[in-house]
Amino acid sequence: MSKFWSKLLKQTDPYIPGEQPKTTKVIKLNTNENPYPPSPKVLDAIKQATDESLRLYPSPTADDLRETVASYYGLKDNQIFIGNGSDEVLAFSFMAFFNPGEKILFPDISYSFYPVYAKLFQIDYELVELTGDFTIPVEQFFNAKGGVIFPNPNAPTGVLLSLNDVELILQNNKEKVVIIDEAYIDFGGESAVQLVDQYDNLLVIQTLSKSRSLAGMRVGLAVGNENLITGLNHIKNSVNSYTLDRLALVAAKASFEDEVYFKEVCETIIQEREKAASTLRALGFHVLQSQANFLFASHPKVDAEFLYEQLKERNIFIRFFKKPKIDQYVRITVGNRADMQEFFDVLKEIV
């Protein structure tokens, strides 16, 4: 704290991301990164674009990329917003669509960045309790005073809400924006993107960090009604005209153009996830049904924090949240076959 800090700054409660160990000699199953590299076409596109044009500003409106994404989803480009990772898109959305004094709703077990945004922008919120099996109680999201936001599949649980249930929430919040945070949708869920023409209060947020193996390039996007997208652009253009560099724009475009590779990677991860879930269950773990690239699991006899610490000592990083209701769970990112093998070898010794 310092006498120079603003009132706003004094009340922040910053997000703490998962550890990024500096050595590469670790098995990293803690931040839901994709174990497979980006498409070779993405790497080629970046190298191609690495020339003297980097002296010039990027497109402030990301036109090329927006057109690609729009055509990928069969939408118009004014229904697409591009941001610096979905975290930035989420931050701008909190600013654009939620008001202080009007409580927004999100699940009590959810992405832990939401309360951070709410605190920064002074948005009041109410935590809606998940049911005992960690599913979202749909009716309790009806008629929100200020709006609704939740991840689908939810994080850190991996539990998916059906598109029917998403629609019920949309229909019962017609005057307020409902944000579906689809960071993990490509690992088995059905995207709400197909509903944007029907619901003008729907904003879908996605990222290229998980299913498209581009966490290192910081690209996120929002899909929604033109009015919502215009709003996001007003916020962006009041903060930073150019939030994505030239290479990030090129990488993202190339990724959307390589559908075959993308599908293959997602399919492989889904298979590995199901195998890993079975192995965990065989070891006595309770494992939630996940539609994401991670598993949320609890062992009746092994303390979760102990497990986390033991694995960390042996250079295997998973995620542990010291929070009520989930402090006996660990979140394990689905890695590649070799990493999962080593993880299970060590895990068997501990359990």
Q: How far is the CB of 337 from a second copy (least distance, A)?
A: 16
Helices (H), the chain: 7-10, 40-49, 63-73, 85-97, 114-120, 163-171, 226-236, 246-257, 259-282, 304-313, 337-350
Site string for a second copy, 17-56 (x = CB under 8 A): x--x-x-----x--x-xxxxxx---xx--xx--xxxxxxx
Task: Find the farthest-apart pair of alpha carbons in the chain and give their distance in angstroms, rounded.
Answer: 59
* Size of the residue set binding a second copy (CB under 8 A): 88
3-state secondary structure of 325: coil
As given in the structure block, the two tokens for residue 186 are 């490509």
Q: What is the radius of gyration, based on Cα positions, of the chain?
A: 20
CB nearer a second copy, residue 92 or residue 150? 92
For a second copy, the binding residues in 245-274 under the rule CB under 8 A are 245-248, 251
Distance separating alpha carbons of residues 16 and 308, to the nearest angstrom = 17
70 with 79: CB under 8 angstroms? yes
**Quick check: 338 binds a second copy (CB under 8 A)?**
no
Stretch that binds a second copy, among 189-197, 236-244, 282-290, 342-350 (CB under 8 A): 236-244
Stretch that binds a second copy, among 87-95, 271-279, 290-298, 316-324 (CB under 8 A): 87-95
**Applying CB under 8 A, which of residues 12, 171, 271, 341 lies at the interface with a second copy?**
12
Q: How far is the CB of 204 from a second copy (least distance, A)?
A: 14
CA torsion 191-193-196-202 (nearest 10°) is 60
As given in the structure block, the two tokens for residue 319 are 């995620």
**Quick check: 211 binds a second copy (CB under 8 A)?**
no
Q: How far is the CB of 139 from a second copy (least distance, A)?
A: 22
**Torsion angles phi and psi, residue 337, rounded to 5:** -60, -45
**Quick check: 339 binds a second copy (CB under 8 A)?**
no
For a second copy, the binding residues in 116-135 under the rule CB under 8 A are 116-117, 119-121
**Applying CB under 8 A, which of residues 27, 65, 79, 87 lies at the interface with a second copy?**
87
Q: How far is the CB of 274 from a second copy (least distance, A)?
A: 21
Distance separating alpha carbons of residues 9 and 24, to the nearest angstrom = 35
Selection from 242, 177, 198, 206 nearest residue 72 by Cα: 206
CB nearer a second copy, residue 130 or residue 250? 250
Site string for a second copy, 267-306 (x = CB under 8 A): ----------------------------------------
Pairing of strands 80-83, 319-320: unpaired
**Applying CB under 8 A, which of residues 29, 169, 177, 269 lies at the interface with a second copy?**
177
